[in-house]
Each structure stands twice: as C-alpha cells, then as structure tokens.
C-alpha cells in the first residue's frame, strides 16, 4: 500500500494539536523537564538550517515525554527588532502588521515539520501583555539602583542610527549591519551588570554548558587582580589614579599615559604651550571609529608638557596621552613600564623614552619587554624579591602611605540598553523640569507603544515625533513632562522570557511564584553559539536580579546548554542574505517531513557545522519507505512457527539497538541514532527474508516504531495505529531493553601476530584467557606466521583480541 505523505502528516499534526497532547500543567507526581530553544525572531520563512534546530528540540520533547517526564516545551517570538522596522521603512507597512503576518507563517511551518509545543503559552514581546513586564522590570531595576542614565562615550552605528551595547560591537563593527561603529558622547540608559560581574563569573562553574561558551563569558567578564595608586602631577597640578596588574614593577615606571578622554587632560593642557596641538590630537582620536583606533602598529600619542612623580622613587616622569590607553578600562590611566610591558616598550622606543628593567629576565632572554615573572632588580626595597612577594610588599607599602590599594577590575561594561529606534519597548520614564527623571507609576503600565507616521531613524527615536504621546504630566508634581522616547534593547525582552513561559497568561503579575518554582530552571536550552556573550550573559544577569528580588526561584536560568552547529552550503552559513538557502517545500512534497527530519539528524554531529547535500534526504526517505513496507507486510514473510535461534538473534539485535539509541539520544549523538536504526532495519529485512515468526516480528517492530517515534513521528504514529498496537504512539512509555537478551553469545575475536591481524575466530563471549590463547595458537593461518619464530609473549584480552608476539 502506498504511503500518502501529505494526508498522513496532516492527520497527525491535526491530532497532536486537537488533543493538546503536548500541552502541560504543573504535576507534582512526575519529574518536570523544561525543554527550550532560544525563541526565534519571526523572520518569515524557515530554511533547512532552522529546521535542524527545531528537529533537535522536538525530538527531545517527544523522547522525554515517553520517558515519563512532564515536559514543558513552549514557543514564542522575539518580535521586536530592526528587520520589521526596516521593512516598514521600505514598504510603509506597520511593523506590527508585518511581524504578526510573519509569526503566522512561521507557526504553520513549524507545524508542517511536525514540531509540537504547548501553544497555550505562546508569547510575543511586541504585545503590551508582554512588554508591560519589560517596563515593570525596568522600574524594578531603577528602584534598586541597577538602571541609571548617564552621559558617556558610547558606540554609535551610523547605518542604524542608534547606540549599541559593547556586546553588539564585533571587531569595531555593528553586529547587525556590519558598518563601522563610531564613538559618541551621549546620555543613555544602562543596566548595572558590572555589579554582578563576580557572581556571573563564579557561577559559571556549576553550569553544564559547553566549555567554549563558558570560556567566552569568562574572557568577556575579564576579571583581573592588581592594584591602583595615585600619581601626583609635579608642581601641584593635580593627581590621577593608575591601575596595574604588576605593581611590583613600579620602580620601572619611566613615563605615564592618560587616555585622551581622561577628565584631567583638560586641566593639564589649559594654558600650556602645546595646547592647540594636544587639543587637535584629542579631537582626532575621539572622532575616529573603533576600527581605526584598533591599529596594532605605531602607537599614536602626544607629550602633555607635564610631569608626574613616581611615588616609589620620587623621580619625575613625563606625562603623555595616547590612544592605546582606554578610558573605558581601569582608571583610564597607566604607569609606563617599558621594561616589563610590550606596549609600553613599543611606545617608549618610538619616542626614545628611558627603559629600565626591574625584573631580571632569564639567562639568554633576547626579547624586548620581559613580561614573565622573576626576581626584582633596580627596585630599591623590592630588590631580590620574586614577583609574587614583591607585589605583596609594594601593595602594603602603598597602603601604608595611603596612596594605593589592592584592586580588581573587569573588562565587562555596564549594559547600555537604550536604543534610538521605533520597534522596541518604550522606556517607562518621564522627564520633568522640576523633578528630573520620574518613573512611570506601576499602575500606569504598560506605556503603550504608539503608532508613528515616519519610521526612518534620525538619531533619535521616531517616538519623539508623536507629540501627544511624548507630552504627559509629571506623575510626581503634575507639571508638564516629557516621556523618554528611546526604546529598550531587544535583548532586554529575551533576558527573562523563559520565566514568563511558566505563567504566560498572567495579567496580574510578571508570573506566579508556585509556577516558576515548579518549572525553573530550564533543563535543556538549545541555541546558537553566537549568543555566548549576548543573550546568554544578559539572561543570567536578569535572572540573578530577579532571584535577589525574590521573584525567580533559580539563580541560574539554564542548567544545561547545547549549542548546535550551523548548516553550510556552498562554503557559507545558510542564510537569506547570502542567498544560499535551501527551502524545505519541494522536499516536503517529494519526501515528507519525516524524511527531512531524519536527514537533519543524520547529517552529522549536532555540535558541528554540517554541509547540506541535496541527495541526502533521498537516503532517509528510502529508509522510511522500507520501514513502511515492512509494516505493511510487503517484505519477506512471517508465520506462527516455533521460536528458534533466528528469533533469539533478531531480538538480541533489537535490544542492543535500543540500548545504543537510548544512550546516544542522551548524549546528543543523533546522527548515530539514525544509523543504528538503519542497521536494525537491515537486519530485520534479512530476518524476514529468512522466514520470520509473527510474534517475534511484532515485538521487534514495536520497538522499532517506539524508537522512531521521536525522530519520524508521522510515519511511526500511522504505522502504530494501523498495526493496532493500541493508544497513541506519543504517549507510550519508552521501551526498556533486557540486558540478558541484549547479551551477545558469540563475538568475533581478532587474532594478531605482532600487532597485525592474521585471523579472526568466532568465540563465546565468556571465553577465558587460556582458551582464547589456544584458539589463536591452533589457527592454521596464525601458524603460518608463527613458524620459525619464538613466541615471546601472548597477550589475551578475551573476547576481543589475542596478540602473539614472536621474535
């Protein structure tokens, strides 16, 4: 009988949804399993690359369900963001309309794949029901001093006409549009993520995450230990702080450098003889793009015409400004120690500054700066001390003098969350001339996102043009006030949505305590590695804040993280912008969703990038076709004969396959799950050709369908029903293997002479060493290689291998 792909798939997709098979509520009786993928931006059409990820998640949902877990697998939409807005600029269609249309399309495509979710929990962050809680969250952070507005140099994307967080600048360019990022001095909203730097770093340890991602976060947070101390400017012109990880080298400081944006610079320059030159240098540097500043060649800089005092030895050292010193890190000023720092060495040699070694380099050292550890020299009272001891000693001395202290610095910056764009959540703050910044009262939430005429960004949010929205009375004094017109970074939306899924419909609270307590944390989180220092860091931060506030029961949101590889075609990641996408439609029509799913699983290890091969789906379709014909009785024959060793053998094969499939799903080796099932069916076909037994076949085939259920659900559900196995496949328990049946009775033992395979013998699995040795020595083929030699040793590893060593 023909397998009608379209009809069968539609039938089961309909049933799963109608019967709400994968909808769920809290149930204390069953262990919970919160299975989640990073919610998608509703970009419209899914290509094969997307389907790979959805297949993994769906496989897990179905598999854990069969294992008896109460599985929560929700779906929602990261629906604020630039693409909808850019489309609006191009077409005039309102981003809301555009977005909602895309959501519907994507839902139908997920359904077509056979992906199942608890749709009763669907959320979309562009809806007031959702973003109202973004705003509530913002207010809570503000109350706790974790949200603040301040003026500083920020990253500005000229193309998108908005500021960007540090995490969104990749090699000096905008993460979204890839155009160069410049610096601007602007007053912007930040979240104080740096306050959580230490906890974010420390708690990484307990997470079952890929090492790679943990390392990326570790580096991004960039904790360093050292000390800071004060340098006085000669002739009473002020003082400034420097930070160093090598205070032990302080005697080697022969100059000092301030960042061009350092606040003291203005004071030091005013009235000085090089005033104009210095000002134009500062001008030049600060207007340069990140990319231009990131040169690694010649270090630019200029002498300030002033001197500082090295506190260790009282010597006068020249003060410079240079662009290799960054205002955003440490104190924005450094001591220049050319002997022990390569950057300072470069700067000093380019200008003929004095170089003094204060750590003794190892014999034969021929490099420039010596950055390793060693014994202090030319360092007054530190002389003779090894680096670690010298550090202790000098810090104690600085503290005693009251000019320095131990210090810890992070590379992590506070998270810049305001954006000058339209399609995002409005920041719930009001500016009042007399009260200053006033939060919108909680009862007035949500601050509804207004419609606008003009979406084009012009350096401020298009919301600023909606006068009757902007102009409000100050909630505190009643005078005329103006709303904040910036919107929030969409990463704010995504930093807590997984909590909202636990209680998505709640209109009274952000979510119910008991519900989040039951479901959190996410047991398995799946997404792309590109979010390692973006979403995955922000989500951890916000979860910790909510935990501290008593809202989240979990301090860490994602217990286990899996980052899948991308799908590659023609040497590049499959993506719309590269124009190398493979659309699933023709494959759905020819082979069906199950064949696509199976090939996505089979294509390679889920962690690795995989190359799309057009003919690949044909292989998995052929496999499914064989499964079908087998179930329909079109292969071989069965009868009600007595069981014999053929039955025993095929049952062993099936139970071993089950054991391997279970282990391989657990360790995310989905590609070998598929190959194991293929190997199983090849064996079953051979078995049936040799005359199968009705009951044995039934047992084996049931196991096969149960294993195939999470992978190729439509076909396996249909067969399960047609063969009258009872109930719906999805709700059957995952089968158990019997070690006794799975045990192999005989195995092929390898016989080697001097490590080379010379023969093989079928032997009982429980063969002992002595017998194994005899088998090897008696083999005629082995004897040919043993003749004339003296047997020095025989290594037996029964029942695997016997290696005879001859001389």
Partner RNA sequence: GCCCGGGUGGCGGAAUGGGUAGACGCGCUGGACUUAAAAUCCAGUGUCGCAAGCGACGUGUGGGUUCAAGUCCCACCCCGGGCACCA
Nearest to 783 by CA among 758, 800, 764, 761: 758
DSSP string, 303-351: EEEEEEE-TTT--EEEEEEETTS-TTSTTSEEEE-TTT-HHHHHHHHHH
Q: Which residues pair with 140 in a beta bridge?
A: none
Report the distance separating Cα 575 and Cα 122, nearest Å: 26
User: What separation in angstroms does the CA of 122 have from each of 50, 74, 488, 501, 546?
Assistant: 19, 7, 22, 8, 22
Q: Compare residues 228 and 556 and give the one whose CB is closer to RNA.
A: 228
Nearest to 409 by CA among 242, 170, 542: 242
Torsion 787-792-795-796 (CA) sign = positive
**637 is an interface residue for RNA by CB under 7 A:** no
Q: Of residues 36-55, which lie at the interface with RNA (CB under 7 A)? A: none
Which of 760, 771, 773, 786 binds RNA (CB under 7 A)? It is: 760
**Contact region with RNA (CB under 7 A), list: 112-120, 428-436, 750-758, 765-773:** 750-758
Shortest distance (Å) from residue 49 CB to RNA: 14
Q: Compare residues 1 and 795 and give the one whose CB is closer to RNA.
A: 795
Dihedrals φ, ψ of 693, to 5°?
-105, 135
Per-residue contact flags (x/-) with RNA for residues 574 to 613, judged by CB under 7 A: ----------------------------xxxx--xxxx-x
Shortest distance (Å) from residue 465 CB to RNA: 35
Q: Of residues 780-799, which lie at the interface with RNA (CB under 7 A)? A: 781, 793, 795, 797
* Nearby residues of 312 by Cβ (< 8 Å), 6 or more positions away: 250, 251, 253, 379, 380, 394
Q: Compare residues 2 and 642 and give the one whose CB is closer to RNA.
A: 2
User: What separation in angstroms does the CA of 288 have from each of 97, 419, 440, 489?
Assistant: 40, 22, 38, 25
Q: Compare residues 615 and 727 and give the one whose CB is closer to RNA.
A: 615
Q: Of residues 436-475, which lie at the interface with RNA (CB under 7 A)? A: none
**408 is an interface residue for RNA by CB under 7 A:** no
Q: Of residues 231-250, which lie at the interface with RNA (CB under 7 A)? A: 243-246
Which of 224, 460, 575, 732 binds RNA (CB under 7 A)? It is: 224
Which of 52, 409, 483, 693 binds RNA (CB under 7 A)? It is: 409
- CB contact burial 492-527 (16+ within 10 A = b; e otherwise): bbbbbbbbbbbbbeeeeebbeeebbebbbbbbbbbb
Shortest distance (Å) from residue 297 CB to RNA: 8
Dihedrals φ, ψ of 718, to 5°?
-65, -45
Residue with tokens 């090598």, as numbered in its chain: 246
**Contact region with RNA (CB under 7 A), list: 199-207, 214-222, 466-474, 583-591:** 214-222
Shortest distance (Å) from residue 322 CB to RNA: 8
Shortest distance (Å) from residue 211 CB to RNA: 6
**299 is an interface residue for RNA by CB under 7 A:** yes
Which of 90, 205, 296, 579 binds RNA (CB under 7 A)? It is: 296
**529 is an interface residue for RNA by CB under 7 A:** yes
Report the distance separating Cα 52 and Cα 600, nearest Å: 5
Q: Of residues 319-338, which lie at the interface with RNA (CB under 7 A)? A: 323-334, 337
Which of 748, 765, 770, 791 binds RNA (CB under 7 A)? It is: 748
Residue with tokens 């005033």, as numbered in its chain: 275
Nearest to 484 by CA among 442, 440, 446: 440
User: What separation in angstroms does the CA of 136 have from each of 81, 142, 511, 523, 574?
Assistant: 20, 10, 12, 27, 38
Q: Of residues 685-714, which lie at the interface with RNA (CB under 7 A)? A: 685
Which of 135, 552, 564, 672 binds RNA (CB under 7 A)? It is: 672
Q: Of residues 151-210, which lie at the interface with RNA (CB under 7 A)? A: 170-171
Shortest distance (Å) from residue 221 CB to RNA: 10
Which of 150, 202, 219, 350 binds RNA (CB under 7 A)? It is: 219
Residue with tokens 């199968």, as numbered in its chain: 692
Q: Compare residues 201 and 610 and give the one whose CB is closer to RNA.
A: 610
Q: Of residues 74-133, which lie at the interface with RNA (CB under 7 A)? A: none
Q: Of residues 381-400, which lie at the interface with RNA (CB under 7 A)? A: none
Report the distance separating Cα 110 and Cα 79, nearest Å: 17
* Nearby residues of 534 by Cβ (< 8 Å), 6 or more positions away: 167, 168, 175, 491
**Contact region with RNA (CB under 7 A), list: 375-383, 440-448, 616-624, 725-733:** 616-624
Helices 535-548 & 211-221, crossing angle to 10 degrees?
Answer: 70
**Contact region with RNA (CB under 7 A), list: 24-32, 92-100, 638-646, 748-756:** 748-756
**Contact region with RNA (CB under 7 A), list: 75-83, 341-349, 553-561, 699-707:** 341-349
């Amino acid at each position: 009988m023909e397998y009608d792909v379209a009809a069968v798939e539609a039938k089961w997709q309909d049933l799963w949804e109608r019967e709400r098979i994968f909808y769920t509520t809290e149930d204390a009786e069953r262990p919970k399993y919160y299975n989640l993928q990073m919610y998608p931006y509703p970009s419209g059409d899914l290509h094969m690359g997307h389907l790979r990820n959805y297949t993994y998640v769906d496989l897990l949902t179905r598999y854990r369900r069969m294992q008896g877990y109460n599985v929560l697998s929700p779906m929602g939409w990261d629906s604020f963001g630039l693409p909808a807005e850019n489309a609006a600029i191009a077409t005039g269609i309102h981003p809301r309309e555009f977005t909602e249309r895309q959501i519907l399309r994507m839902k139908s495509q997920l359904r077509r794949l056979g992906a199942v979710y608890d749709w009763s929990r669907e959320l979309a962050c562009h809806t007031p029901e959702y973003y109202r809680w973004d705003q509530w969250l913002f207010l809570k952070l503000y109350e706790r001093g974790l949200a603040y507005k301040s003026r500083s140099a920020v990253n500005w994307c000229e193309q998108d006409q908005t500021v960007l967080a540090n995490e969104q600048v990749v090699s000096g360019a905008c993460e979204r549009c890839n155009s160069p990022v410049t610096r601007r001095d602007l007053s912007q909203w930040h979240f104080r993520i740096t306050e959580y730097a230490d906890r974010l770093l420390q708690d990484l340890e307990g997470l079952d995450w890929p090492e790679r991602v943990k390392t990326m976060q570790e580096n991004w947070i960039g904790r360093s230990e050292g000390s800071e101390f004060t340098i006085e400017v000669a002739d009473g012109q002020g003082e400034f702080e420097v930070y160093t990880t090598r205070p032990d080298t302080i005697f080697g400081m022969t100059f000092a450098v301030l960042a061009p944006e350092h606040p003291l610079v203005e004071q030091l320059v005013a009235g000085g003889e090089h005033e104009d030159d210095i000002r134009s240098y500062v001008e030049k540097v600060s207007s340069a793009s990140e990319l231009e500043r990131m040169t690694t060649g010649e270090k630019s800089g200029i002498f300030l015409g002033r001197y500082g005092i090295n506190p260790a030895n009282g010597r006068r050292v020249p003060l410079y400004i240079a662009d290799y010193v960054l205002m955003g890190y440490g104190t924005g000023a450094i001591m220049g120690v050319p002997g022990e720092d390569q950057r300072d060495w470069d700067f000093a040699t380019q200008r003929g500054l004095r170089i003094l070694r204060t750590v003794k380099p190892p014999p034969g050292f021929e490099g420039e700066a010596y950055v390793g550890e060693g014994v202090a020299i030319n360092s007054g009272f530190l002389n003779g001390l090894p680096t670690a001891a010298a550090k202790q000693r000098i810090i104690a001395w600085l503290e005693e003098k009251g000019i320095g202290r131990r210090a810890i610095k992070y590379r992590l910056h506070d998270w810049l969350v305001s954006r000058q764009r339209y399609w995002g959540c409005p920041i719930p703050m009001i500016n009042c001339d007399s009260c200053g910044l006033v939060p919108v009262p909680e009862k007035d939430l949500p601050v509804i996102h207004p419609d606008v005429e003009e979406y084009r960004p012009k350096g401020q949010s298009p919301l600023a043009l909606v006068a009757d929205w902007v102009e409000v009375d100050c909630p505190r004094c009643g005078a005329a006030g103006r709303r904040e017109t910036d919107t929030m970074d969409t990463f704010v939306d995504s930093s807590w949505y997984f909590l909202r899924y636990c209680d998505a419909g709640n209109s009274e609270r952000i979510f119910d305590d008991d519900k989040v307590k039951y479901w959190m944390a996410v047991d398995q989180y799946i997404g792309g590695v590109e979010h390692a220092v973006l979403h995955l860091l922000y989500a951890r931060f916000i979860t910790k804040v909510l935990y501290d506030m008593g809202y989240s029961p979990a301090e860490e949101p994602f217990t286990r993280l899996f980052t899948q590889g991308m799908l590659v075609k023609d040497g590049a990641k499959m993506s719309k912008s590269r124009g190398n996408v493979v659309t699933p439609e023709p494959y759905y029509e020819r082979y069906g969703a199950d064949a696509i799913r199976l090939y996505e699983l089979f294509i390679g290890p889920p962690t690795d990038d995989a190359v799309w091969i057009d003919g690949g789906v044909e292989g998995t379709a052929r496999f499914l076709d064989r499964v079908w014909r087998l179930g329909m009785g079109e292969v071989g024959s069965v009868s009600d004969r007595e069981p014999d060793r053929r039955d025993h053998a095929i049952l062993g094969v099936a139970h071993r396959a089950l054991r391997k499939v279970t282990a391989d799903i657990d360790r995310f080796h989905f590609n070998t799950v598929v190959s194991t099932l293929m190997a199983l069916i090849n064996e079953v076909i051979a078995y049936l050709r040799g005359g199968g037994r009705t009951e044995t076949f039934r047992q084996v085939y049931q196991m096969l369908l149960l294993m195939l259920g999470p992978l190729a659900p439509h076909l396996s559900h249909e067969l399960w029903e047609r063969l009258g196995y009872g109930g719906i496949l999805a709700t059957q328990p995952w089968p158990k293997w019997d070690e006794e049946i799975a045990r192999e009775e005989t195995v092929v033992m390898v016989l080697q002479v001097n490590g080379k395979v010379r023969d093989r013998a079928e032997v009982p699995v429980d063969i002992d060493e002595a017998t194994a040795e005899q088998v090897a020595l008696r083999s005629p083929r082995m004897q040919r290689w043993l003749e004339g030699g003296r047997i020095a040793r025989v290594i037996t590893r029964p029942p695997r291998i016997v290696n005879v060593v001859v001389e």
